[in-house]
């Protein structure tokens, strides 16, 4: 049995309480987080963060289906597969998000003597950072978005916050709160930081985006045409 099959092997179902299931899921998130750290560092952060994030999202989807047994083989295979495609698709949006966060930091630090300018700068930075973050999450957690041509992927990712506004708002708020908590309590960020952040995005966006794209595809293809009855003149 190859590593991919063993990594995806369904776990035997057991009668457990929600507390036990939550602890097992948290343990899986910790394992995925540690592998994510290693793969990100392997790519010298800039090159490694995008494919490592996509690999973590794939592992977390498998964990939610009850199919993940070993995180490393699955994430390593996804990392190698997504090394170039994910980087090309995600790094430009990461750069936009970084610039937006710098604008937000500048506004929060009050580096300008004009309060109106700082208010506009902070609002624009927050909106841009949140929109870019949700678009990045859509690329990472939804393979149907990521597997399109480059321009189609960008268009779908940029439209997703408007297509699922409530879920996108929840993702942006939860990720912002989680980031602030992780920066305040660094051991928590080390053990769970990116893993739990990606898990939040997977839980809120992955299935919803897949269903949305399936509905759009069905609408574009139209209803099936009925064949004419041979006996009808």
Highest mean pLDDT (candidates 2-11, 19-28, 75-84, 222-231): 75-84
User: Does some domain include residue 210?
Assistant: yes
What pLDDT score does 14 carry? Answer: 57
Per-residue pLDDT reduced to its tens digit, 51-108:
999 999 999 999 999 887 789 999 999 999 999 999 999 999 999 999 999 998 888 8
Write the CA distances from 140 to 23, 195, 209, integer angstroms: 25, 13, 12
- Asked whether residue 7 is assigned to any structural domain, the reply reads no
Average pLDDT, the chain: 88
Asked whether residue 227 is domain-assigned, the answer is no
**What is the domain range of residue 109?**
16-220
- In this prediction, residues 99-118 reach a mean pLDDT of 83
Whether residue 133 is contained in a domain is answered as yes
Structural domain includes residue 230: no
34 within some domain: yes
Mean pLDDT of 150-177: 96
Number of domains in the chain: 1
Q: Is residue 98 part of a domain?
A: yes
| Cβ neighbours around 186 below 10 Å, total | 10
Whether 11 is covered by a domain: the verdict is: no
DSSP secondary structure of 60-104: HHHHHTT--S-HHHHHHHHHHHHHHHHHHHHHHHHHHHHHHHHHH
How much is the pTM? 0.86
3-state DSSP helix/strand/coil % of the chain, to nearest 5: 80, 0, 20
User: Crossing angle, helix 150-163 and helix 165-184, to 10 degrees?
Assistant: 90
- What's the mean pLDDT in 146-159? 95
């Amino acid at each position: 049995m190859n590593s991919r099959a063993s990594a995806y092997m369904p776990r035997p179902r057991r009668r457990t309480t929600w507390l036990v299931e939550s602890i097992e899921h948290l343990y899986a998130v910790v394992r995925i987080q540690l592998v994510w750290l290693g793969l990100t560092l392997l790519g010298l952060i800039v090159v490694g963060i995008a494919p490592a994030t996509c690999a973590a999202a794939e592992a977390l989807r498998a964990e939610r289906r009850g199919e993940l047994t070993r995180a490393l083989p699955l994430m390593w295979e996804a990392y190698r597969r997504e090394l170039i495609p994910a980087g090309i698709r995600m790094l430009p949006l990461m750069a936009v998000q970084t610039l937006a966060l710098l604008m937000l930091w500048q506004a929060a630090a009050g580096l300008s003597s004009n309060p109106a300018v700082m208010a506009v700068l902070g609002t624009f930075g927050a909106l841009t950072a949140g929109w870019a973050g949700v678009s990045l999450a859509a690329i990472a957690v939804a393979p149907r978005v990521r597997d399109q041509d480059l321009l189609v992927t960008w268009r779908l990712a940029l439209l997703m916050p408007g297509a699922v506004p409530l879920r996108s708002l929840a993702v942006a708020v939860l990720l912002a709160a989680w980031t602030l908590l992780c920066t305040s309590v660094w051991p928590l960020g080390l053990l769970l930081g990116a893993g739990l952040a990606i898990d939040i995005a997977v839980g809120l966006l992955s299935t919803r985006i897949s269903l949305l794209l399936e509905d759009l595809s069905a609408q574009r293809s139209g209803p099936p045409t009925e064949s004419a009855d041979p006996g009808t003149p």
